[in-house]
Chains A and B, each alone.
Chain A
């Protein structure tokens, strides 16, 4: 199946700092989603972004499908941003393939 690599695996930020998370994938995709998994285990949909750029408040994402990567930007980080961020991609008509995530810790 398709390979999904996320970097960095762990990230520690001071509150207020900005960060960029990266997702590389090994094949063409027709769906790409970013999720935030909170400390209670819930998966929160952040973006559906198979291509292009989207913004939602302090978060934005860009996917360059031709180069097979996506970036998630977090600006002015807050402690509530802590958790694990997953990138997941889909090829064809089947399931999402998940990366192993970036664990973000924001310290006050």
Chain B
């Protein structure tokens, strides 16, 4: 197992465009999390899935954001009509229900110009 994989590593987009990020968790982990991190801050929770069910969404996740985890495997995070304030590092993590320790991916850095 190669750990949590995120693609792309970097994304530069023009304001108003839609972007989609992908996360492939550790295969035996049934929980998957999305966090957002801005410069100088700790990661902030966005949403999490247990298998294919999205169990919680943060108020940070406006209606322009949507996340899916079809079949409880990989997950996608889509941002519609991007704004400059969406520029951040988007981090994905997974955990096994019985362990609770998180494993993070390398993140996707989004720059909205």
Binding between chains A and B:
no
Using a CB–CB cutoff of 8 Å, the interface residues on chain A facing chain B are none
Using a CB–CB cutoff of 8 Å, the interface residues on chain B facing chain A are none
